Structure 1
Amino acid sequence: MNRLRGFLPMIGPPGRRAACLAGAILSGAGAIPLMPAQAAPAERSVQFDIPAQDLAAALDQLGRQAGVQILYPYGVAAGRRSTALRDRVPIRMALDRLLRRSGLEIVRITDRLVILRAAGAAPPARTITRPAPPRPAPAPSSTRPPIPPQADIVVTGRASQAPLDETELSYAITRIDGPALARKGPLSTADLFKQVPGFWVESTGGEASNNIRSRGIPTDGYTSVALLEDGLPVQYDGGLGYLNTDQIYRIDSTISRVEAVRGGPSAIFMPNAPGGSINFVTRTGLRDPGYTLSATAGSFGYERVDGFAGARIAPNLGVSLGGFYRQADGLRHSGYPADRGGQIRAGIDYDDGRARLSFNVKRLDDRVILYLPVPLQFDGSGNVRAVPGFDPLTDTLAGPDEVHVPFKTATGPRDFDLSQGTRSRITFYTMSGRLALDDRSAVDITARLRTGSTLRNGLFPIGRPMTGSDYLASVMPQLKAAFPGTAAATIRYADTGTPFLPDSNGNGLVVGANLLSVWMPMTEFIADARLTRRFDRWGHHDIALGLTYDSARLDFDRTMGTVLLDVLGQARRLDVAAVDRNGREIGALTDNGFVRYGSLFDAVSLRSSNLALYWADEWKLAPRWRIDLGGRWEKIRIGGGVEGSTPVNLGDAATLADDAVLTGDGVIEPIRRHFSGFNWTAGVNFRPAPSTGLFLRLTRIARLPSASEFNAYPNRTDEAVTPITMAEAGLTVRHRRWTLSAVAFGTHFARLPFTDYRFDTASNTYVERTSIADTSTIGLELAGHADLAGPLKLDVQATLQDPRYRNFSYIELAGGLPVTRDVTGNQLIRVPKLSLRVTPSLSLFAGRLRIDTEFVRYSDRFADIANTQRLPPYALINMDVNAKIADRLAIALHVTNLTNALGLTEGNPRAGSFDAGGMGTSYFLARPEFGRTVRATFSLSY
């Protein structure tokens, strides 16, 4: 240890020595007559081999390898993560690398001695003889042992902010630090979560509107996994209909690290989080001063600029500014700019050791395309193949023909613009503060106000592709009934009138689609207040008592029209006309490609308020034993109103498209519902050695209904509190050259409503049915890292699970008669039994070049609950190359789906989630992985 060890005998016992020394150095080591930082630099070059680790341990290791004594404030260095240093450089340069954005600066450096202090702690001038007042530091607990040098400090999902090693946790966590974020360069928020074991992620929707599931939990979107920023939910209810949290969240250079809690205590501290919580920790000018600038270019016209600037403008005050701007044609050829926009964040932070206050404003103004299922076919052997003329890796049905389309409604024409995609204009105002009441108690308060709106325009394919002749045969009875004298029907392109022939698009196929527009303005206020206290009785306790309040107002305006398209990349609208025996047109099924205007209408105003009280106790019962207990009581009130709808005829006798346009009837049906429930969790950790941890945990959760579940049916009675039981048993082992985490889990949902939304192509409207059922899943999560021979490293993540429906039956018509189908024991839809990710990496030239090759494998899945439509297994290969060109300049190359593998993540939900119709038909719709993409990023940091 090099922390002023020669001075320790004059101060007293070790615990008091550390506290006194930290206070003395934090008060400003420059108060004693030291030479300036530039005096007598040590230019002697040394070969360093220091891994990324706790900064205090890294400084100790640097001192040993350089043969110098390093004196530094341990309280500032402990808990901060250092970068790896494997190079032959002068001692001064080595220190500069380790101390970058660390909060420490060099006071004096010689060939034998280095003195560091907290950045900005020096007095303003050398003539000042009275030292600055010391910065208070929390007194260490006499019962808390020091954190091991290799400890990973965890803060998410805990009652206390005191340092705690991962082997002491009674739950599983995945950490992704800043360097790892830069190495991976995820295309979307959901893409990042693929690194978390136990998570099944569908990121094929684009940069937003993706799905995530954890440990076999049977709900989509973000209904069971909470997205947090600095410990507070980005959106209290992440599963609001058509408003997933990832639609309003983007990763950029203002993010310092990510901590993902899998299961565990998430449901105690956070709402709607039985599957886990993912916390994005932001950079600040006080904690992470420095500057970064990066530029990215890649496939499909991808261009992006990220930047961050953080500065400490006073010893206890920092400011920061950062964000990104991106434009791209999209990961599929849509024929128009698909993604364009960005966000900016400005913040100010104060921390004097006793009081901490932070405020930041973030503005998101971004639009991204929503990718939906594409046409595919089964060959004679049941294998998935491309439809002729349509590339499932790079094509999409969306195209310029759906941009600025006249859309008839009962209140007048509207402009449907598919190029708007998911357009989010959101402003977040976040304030957080912490006040230490004494050396054992503190109060934390965090609040966030969110204002703005999201517009979501999408093209949703329906039914199945079929030949033009088959489609005409299916609508002939309808045309003959509407237009007597109909002898035949024709198809033509709506824009040019050119006939649609079997060879017009290379396959002769047509498909239906819904042009859907949803506008959702939302205002939300979230506040969390927490009292934490430490005390010693029958061991050591860190307790937390908290209160969370949320108030949200959301409007939901939805309009939809159904069109007919040809099956082609950038599909075009088709018209169908009825002709008499002389070939003369006597009427039309469609109008400007629309089979039905107003095939869906919703006008909803929602209000919700949530109040939650929670408590947690981290109880260190003995040196090797810890017990974690927690409880949460929560209540939700849902109010508002839903306007009823009625079909109207707009009066155009030449077409059937406007005969039943749904519009508001002016009758508002009120929503008045409230639900409450209690969650509890108990976990125990046994640590037989500092490098090994074992844990058990049992959690019981009462999942409350979401406000948006009453959008269309304000009086529905099937919604109720869902009981969830989760059990976990884990092992964590940390070795000098390898680490291993293994978690066995079981999850049981009881009395969960499952609703089948199926679009009926005969009536051009949605029909639905609901069944109440249970689910159960058992599984195993594995995550490991190994330093192999020489520069070779290996990371492995695997999830093996058996997700099943229980007590599940539903009724359907067969031959006009009701038949009960029992699907108990079937596999949960879209969730694979096996997810495997193996990443060997090669580190060369003292760590200046790193090559990661990622091999991913998913087992087969099913698109429907009846398990009739199988989604085949598939494998992907991705690659990341990161090179350090100079001390401050780096380049990264990211390649996804290197081999252009065709892998399906989901089928077509609009064909029916209960029974999608099996695999007996040749053509179907599904959403595949994107084709190969390449991106290069140049980064400058200081």
Structure 2
Amino acid sequence: MSSKYYLLLSVATWALAPAAMAKDASDAQGAITTGEATKRSVSKPKAEATFSTGVAKGRDRLDSATSTSSLQADEIQKIGARSLAEIFRSIPGIRTESSTGEANGSYTIRGLPLASGGSKFMQIQEDGLPVLEFGDFFNVASDLFIRADTNLSAIETIRGGSASTFASNSPGGVINLISKTGDVEGGAIELTTGIDYDTKRLDFDYGGRINDTLRFHIGGFYRTGEGQRAVGFNAYQGGQLKFNITKQFAAGYIRLSAKYLDDRAPAYLPGPIQITGTNANPTYSSFENFDVRRDSVQSRYITSFPTLDGNNQPINVPMRQGLSALVKSVGLESQFDIGDWTITGRTRYSKISGTTIRDLVANIYPANGLPASLGAGTGTLSYANGPNVGQVITPADNINGNGLIGATSLSKIDIRSLDNFTGDIRATRVFDLGQGKFTLTGGMYKAVQDLTSDWLYSNITQDLNGGGNSALINYTNAAGVPQSQDGFLGFTRSGSTGFFRRTYDVQYDVTAPYGSVNYHIGRIAIGGSIRYDMGKVRGQLFGSDLGGGRVGTTSYDFNGDGVISVAESKTNILPLTRPAPVNYNYHYLSYSTGINFRIAEPLAVFARYSRGARANADKVLFSSKVSVVDGSMPDSADGADVVTQAEFGLKLRRPGMTFNITGFIAKTEDTNVQAGAITTDRKYRAHGAEVEAGFQRGPLSITGGLTYTDAEIVSDRLNAAVAGMVPRRQPKLIYQATPQYESRQLTLGAYIVGNTSSFSQDINALKIPGYVLINPFVQYRPIDRLQFMVNVNNVFDKVAIIEISQTTVPANGVGWGRAANGRTISASVRYAF
């Protein structure tokens, strides 16, 4: 990145300081500023509910024509979530597929399509700025580079509405994780351990005032362990440290923040699932010695894999790297009143790298049903490693009691750089106009996002044995010629082609001016906002699937024996002398307008219409939409996918009760790539309603929400057969609830989440049943400052299917997919000081 972009908004932000410093600092007040969260619990209805994410100016939510939610830190702790996705699924309107583990989850909102992983139409932010400019990069979603720990003060969410104009690439909404900033003196240390699974974690944080005008906060975590599923090795390792310091002036504040994240976690990918019954009424169950709730295709015996790196040099990739993230970031935030204007600036530079190591099932066969390429009826299968190394396998052996063999791709997505700079500066002024208040806001957003990564693969055969005990399998044909080497069929993704071995070296440069107006008179507030995004995409691509004679296969002697084996003859390389350029621009206009009518002090209704868009990032690369000759985009409409939404809502807030309901209609364009490299170019339509409510009476309370969605694929330019179908894995109803009892010493409750049935794939044949997961918790405080807590996830150990690869019930009953984790119990002790 060019250093001029790093400095652009930082200088503008710091330039505000002298005017503020000229004022008498002794007048500084300790009031909470934008980005700081209150300590009130979401289960206790608030007298005021000021909200600042995705809007021009923080205001009472009953005076704003938006649909928003806020989740406080103490409520997040009760959920007992094992990942960020499990936290997000507690927010009404948000649909998550939280079966991958710590990161690379899938997120969407209000029926907007979820064709692939990550978060395309909804932006994940940290303290008001995006973690990544695009939340659905192939294999490296935003949640890989952010963690929830005791630094977290609150999570604010805006769905639809002005999210499309107050953030780039977020037409569906924004989820903003807000850090503590030392406004409350004190801290805590917390130890957590798994009771029935291997994890140990230490969290700490502390903040407070250094003097009357200076405060700080510091905190982080460290954890280690195998994790919730059996993989046979220490899959979780690492932690995070965050720090911020705030200088308060009479007219505002300046805050400097820093973050260091170095963490790894396993990637839980599809495993074998037994499927019987009919498409309309299927039965899903575990195979012998492989529990879909607790096991993984990862293993203590599959420790590494050889391949060629991004420079076509041999490397040995350790599997335990899993989902690894290394983030070093520094940020600057300020807000000052200068004359009648309030100027707010945020900038952050993040240096980001990491890896995504995966064990991805391509197919699963009964041992007596292997195709010819894997030794059907001829030749010999034998163990390549593990306790049975060298032992011959026959179909009659019924290995592991399930007789299953998997053809699997081991992959490393080597994230060399996702470095990014983001900055946002805005000015707001409130004018007296007639009997009301007129608020004017103008701003500028700037972002520079790198994408430099290599896709590296090798191809294996393995048995499917739970407990982290899967082993590699060799195949020798009837002529006695080994077709595999140490369990590897080839050093490719699959087969003998160079498909999906790629290098991306691209940079995205985004500039977006925006503005808004709002007029509040009496009970009525009318507003509108506009944003114009302009993007420049420059760089180059390498890969044989760019065509044009770019060959991606070779031979390489990995074991150094001087002989090229059959497997070694199937080695992928990158055609480094034949790059394809990337050189195109995009632009799109977003706007939003709404009206809010406060019928009475506790009651308001609103309506809003919005048009936003999401720029297409890497999903249009390696496709016909970008020329491999000159890097241009022949059809400028392919640069972004447009989303239009209409909302109609009611909000009620009384002592002991809140009730919000919003109806929505959304139309969406989506250019994407589904798992299995299926390219889509679609239009979708969805309508429905979301409800969020909370009730409290004395020590008893319940909060929760539900979202009804009726979604449809309107058209697909590449596959007309799916028109009129319901998008895969989209349930009609998702819901969550948290009933609890709370006294001074004891809190008892349960976090309940569920959804109705959906279809496994877009052809709408095979159903995935709905599920309800109940997650009880108990907190006990024997003395002040000391708390003991137990969380149980999925207390009834339900099989909750998240994803199925099959389109219909397979004749042999063998399928593969993902399910939610089975029952896991954690215990923690927390001491506050």
Q: Under a length normalisation based on structure 2, what TM-score does the superposition of the two structures give?
A: 0.88
Match of 2:261 in 1: 364
Deviation at 1:412, TM superposition (A): 4.7
Match of 1:413 in 2: 314
Contact 2:501 2:572 in 1 (8 A): yes
Contact 1:782 1:799 in 2 (8 A): yes
Provide, for residues 382-420 of structure 1, a one-character-per-residue CA deviation record: whole Å limited to 9, x for no partner: 211111121111111101222133346794532121110
Q: Which amino acid aligns with 1:177?
A: Q
Contact 1:588 1:654 in 2 (8 A): no
* Correspondences of 1:59-138 after superposition (within 5 Å): 81=38
2:398 aligned residue (493, 503, 511)? 503
2:574 aligned residue (659, 664, 669)? 664
Q: Does 1:786 align with 2:680?
A: no
Cα distance in 2 for residues equivalent to 1:827 and 1:655: 47
Q: Does 1:534 align with 2:448?
A: no
Deviation at 1:867, TM superposition (A): 1.8
Match of 1:114 in 2: none
Contact 2:119 2:141 in 1 (8 A): yes
Aligned residues: 767
Match of 1:593 in 2: 487
Match of 1:336 in 2: 233
Match of 2:627 in 1: 715
Contact 2:79 2:751 in 1 (8 A): no
Deviation at 1:797, TM superposition (A): 1.2
Q: Which amino acid aligns with 1:669?
A: A
Cα distance in 1 for residues equivalent to 2:678 and 2:619: 17
Match of 1:808 in 2: 716
* Correspondences of 1:62-461 after superposition (within 5 Å): 81=38, 150-161=47-58, 164-219=59-114, 220-285=117-182, 287-298=183-194, 299-380=196-277, 382-407=282-307, 411-438=312-339, 440-461=340-361
Q: Does 1:606 align with 2:606?
A: no
Cα distance in 2 for residues equivalent to 1:430 and 1:419: 31
Q: Does 1:875 align with 2:772?
A: yes
Match of 2:732 in 1: 833
Contact 2:191 2:203 in 1 (8 A): yes
Deviation at 1:921, TM superposition (A): 4.4
Cα distance in 2 for residues equivalent to 1:720 and 1:643: 21
In structure 2, do the counterparts of structure 1 residues 352 and 565 end up closer, same or farther at CA, with 3 Å as the change threshold? Answer: same
Contact 2:685 2:712 in 1 (8 A): yes
* Correspondences of 1:541-552 after superposition (within 5 Å): 541-552=438-449
Deviation at 1:810, TM superposition (A): 4.5
Deviation at 1:918, TM superposition (A): 5.0
Deviation at 1:847, TM superposition (A): 3.6
Q: Does 1:799 align with 2:799?
A: no
In structure 2, do the counterparts of structure 1 residues 426 and 704 end up closer, same or farther at CA, with 3 Å as the change threshold? Answer: same
Cα distance in 2 for residues equivalent to 1:291 and 1:886: 16
Contact 1:810 1:822 in 2 (8 A): no
Contact 1:447 1:528 in 2 (8 A): yes
* Correspondences of 1:737-776 after superposition (within 5 Å): 737-750=656-669, 752-758=670-676, 768-776=677-685
Cα distance in 2 for residues equivalent to 1:560 and 1:325: 31
Q: Does 1:693 align with 2:604?
A: yes
In structure 2, do the counterparts of structure 1 residues 318 and 649 end up closer, same or farther at CA, with 3 Å as the change threshold? Answer: same
Contact 1:608 1:707 in 2 (8 A): no
RMSD between aligned residues: 2.6
Match of 1:891 in 2: 788
Cα distance in 2 for residues equivalent to 1:180 and 1:393: 26
Contact 1:604 1:711 in 2 (8 A): no
Deviation at 1:738, TM superposition (A): 1.7
Provide, for residues 50-93 of structure 1, a one-character-per-residue CA deviation record: whole Å limited to 9, x for no partner: xxxxxxxxxxxxxxxxxxxxxxx996799974558x9xxxxxxx
Deviation at 1:807, TM superposition (A): 2.1
Match of 2:3 in 1: none
Match of 1:4 in 2: none
Give SS of 2:728's match.
coil
Q: Which amino acid aligns with 2:53?
A: T
Contact 2:276 2:809 in 1 (8 A): no
Contact 1:542 1:619 in 2 (8 A): yes
Deviation at 1:607, TM superposition (A): 1.2
Q: Under a length normalisation based on structure 1, what TM-score does the superposition of the two structures give?
A: 0.78
In structure 2, do the counterparts of structure 1 residues 83 and 452 end up closer, same or farther at CA, with 3 Å as the change threshold? Answer: closer
Deviation at 1:654, TM superposition (A): 6.9
Cα distance in 2 for residues equivalent to 1:203 and 1:348: 34
Larger Rg: 1
Provide, for residues 529-556 of structure 1, a one-character-per-residue CA deviation record: whole Å limited to 9, x for no partner: 1111111224212221110111122211
Provide, for residues 420-468 of structure 1, a one-character-per-residue CA deviation record: whole Å limited to 9, x for no partner: 0011111011111122102x212111110111311111111112x2211
Deviation at 1:473, TM superposition (A): 4.4
Cα distance in 1 for residues equivalent to 2:767 and 2:402: 24
Contact 2:164 2:613 in 1 (8 A): no
Cα distance in 1 for residues equivalent to 2:721 and 2:478: 47
Cα distance in 2 for residues equivalent to 1:431 and 1:25: 20
Give SS of 1:192's match.
helix
Q: Which amino acid aligns with 1:753?
A: T
Contact 2:738 2:749 in 1 (8 A): yes
* Correspondences of 1:597-676 after superposition (within 5 Å): 597-599=491-493, 600-620=500-520, 622-645=521-544, 646=551, 647-650=553-556, 655-665=565-575, 666-676=577-587
Of stretches 929-938 and 637-646 in structure 1, the one that deviates more from structure 2 is 637-646
In structure 2, do the counterparts of structure 1 residues 754 and 867 end up closer, same or farther at CA, with 3 Å as the change threshold? Answer: farther
Cα distance in 1 for residues equivalent to 2:84 and 2:644: 28
Match of 1:105 in 2: none
Q: Does 1:491 align with 2:403?
A: no
In structure 2, do the counterparts of structure 1 residues 792 and 490 end up closer, same or farther at CA, with 3 Å as the change threshold? Answer: same
Contact 1:376 1:926 in 2 (8 A): yes
Deviation at 1:500, TM superposition (A): 2.0
Cα distance in 2 for residues equivalent to 1:918 and 1:825: 22
Higher normalized contact order (CA 8 Å, seq sep 6+, divided by chain length) = 2
Cα distance in 2 for residues equivalent to 1:237 and 1:25: 40
Give SS of 2:103's match.
coil
In structure 2, do the counterparts of structure 1 residues 77 and 360 end up closer, same or farther at CA, with 3 Å as the change threshold? Answer: closer
Contact 2:540 2:579 in 1 (8 A): yes
Contact 1:494 1:592 in 2 (8 A): yes
Deviation at 1:560, TM superposition (A): 0.6
Identity, % of aligned pairs?
23
Provide, for residues 815-864 of structure 1, a one-character-per-residue CA deviation record: whole Å limited to 9, x for no partner: xxxxxx52222111112111122332122xx4421111233331111221
In structure 2, do the counterparts of structure 1 residues 659 and 172 end up closer, same or farther at CA, with 3 Å as the change threshold? Answer: same
Contact 1:402 1:417 in 2 (8 A): no
Q: Does 1:732 align with 2:644?
A: no
Cα distance in 1 for residues equivalent to 2:369 and 2:288: 18
Q: Does 1:939 align with 2:830?
A: yes
Cα distance in 2 for residues equivalent to 1:757 and 1:905: 14
Cα distance in 2 for residues equivalent to 1:892 and 1:476: 53
Provide, for residues 557-599 of structure 1, a one-character-per-residue CA deviation record: whole Å limited to 9, x for no partner: 111111111121232111111134xxxx2x1221111122123
Cα distance in 2 for residues equivalent to 1:261 and 1:319: 28
Cα distance in 2 for residues equivalent to 1:456 and 1:872: 30
Cα distance in 2 for residues equivalent to 1:184 and 1:893: 11
Give SS of 1:239's match.
coil
